[in-house]
Structure 1
Amino acid sequence: MAVPVQMTNDSSSVSKMSAVARNYWTDPFLRYFIRKTSRRAPLINRGYYIRLKAVEYAVSRFISEVSSSPAWQIVSYGAGFDTTFFRLASEDRLANGVFYEIDLPNVVKRKSEIIMDSPELRILVGHCDKPDRKMNGCTCIITSKYRLVSIDLNDVESLQSQLQDVGIDVLQPTLFLSECVLTYLDQSRYDVRF
């Protein structure tokens, strides 16, 4: 199941690039993750535009509500090659926040390599003592503002401890983002409480 799920990241990223290429929105960071372009149907472009605007709205509203909080976090499950963190960081909107991106090992490895190969993206994620740090057998990035990690969401028994291991604090104001990852999980296994 992991390979077909990972392929959704690639397909989704190409669709986002199609919409950006047709000026539905501007994303100066997507080009680092997507080299291949492919024209999608207008309906697909509009669908991705609507999804982007919905996520932007939720994130902006959350940040405005927690702006006076000493610490807060955004956790994106199944983040793939999403660029929300980079857009927020470039606009200096993460003053007291930490942005977590969680995905499968292969996706995290690829994203980590792209970030470490790009001076612009490395500056935005901040200083990383060990960019090749291993966690759950996967390369990840851990900085003061950005955490890119691989966590198997189907491993319900250790999910909570894994989230805590990467620094997620359930006592802080938290926004959880999950666009489509939940459709790939076995819902009957989830009775996790934080």
Structure 2
Amino acid sequence: MIFLRGLIVFCLLITLPCSAKTLLEFEGKIYPRRFLQVKGIGYGHHAIVWKDGRTSEKALIEADIPDREVADILAKQGLVGGNNLTNETWTARNDPNNPAADARVAGPTVEVTVSWEGLNRWEKLKEILGMPEADYRFGDHRSLIPIWKSGCIVCDVSCPGGKISNHSLTIRDQVMKRLRPKMDLEKLPKDGTTVRVRISR
């Protein structure tokens, strides 16, 4: 009984179910203050981006691993991406009569967690962002990489450029300024700090 209680406490401390399977882990650098200073339509959008991707300077986390490699690894682990978003999901964002921008990413749910030196636990990305309702899905969309070249690994809205996207918000929501990360900078490391990112299911 004591062992079981200890196991339950351990599971709560790491913020993931004990049954969660780690699919992928990689390193990057976090930039919380820079992330909140992004202006215009890109504000709050790019959670994790490959460091050599076109949108890396707007990202919360710049990852050392390319976005295509992330999608390849997840697919090899048996995850089948939704691949339901199109180029028009983004390009038609300002047309209120076009439903493409209202599409929500499909695909299997994944948990994205982050850790850094001194934290001693894995923190959910959605909690770091102050977006507890975020529902990250493996959308895949590798076929759109040649179009976007964004390097996006995790997007905070349902984005055709992201390999993993947030099902709970659409591109239309972003245009309507419903994407509102609420980060506590006092609890986060300084910009440029090395972090570990884990994708689990």
Taking structure 1 as the reference length, what is the TM-score of the superposition? 0.29
Please state which structure has a larger fraction of its residues in strand.
Answer: 2
Say which structure, 1 or 2, has more relative contact order (CA 8 Å, 6+ apart): 2
Please state which structure has a larger fraction of its residues in helix.
Answer: 1
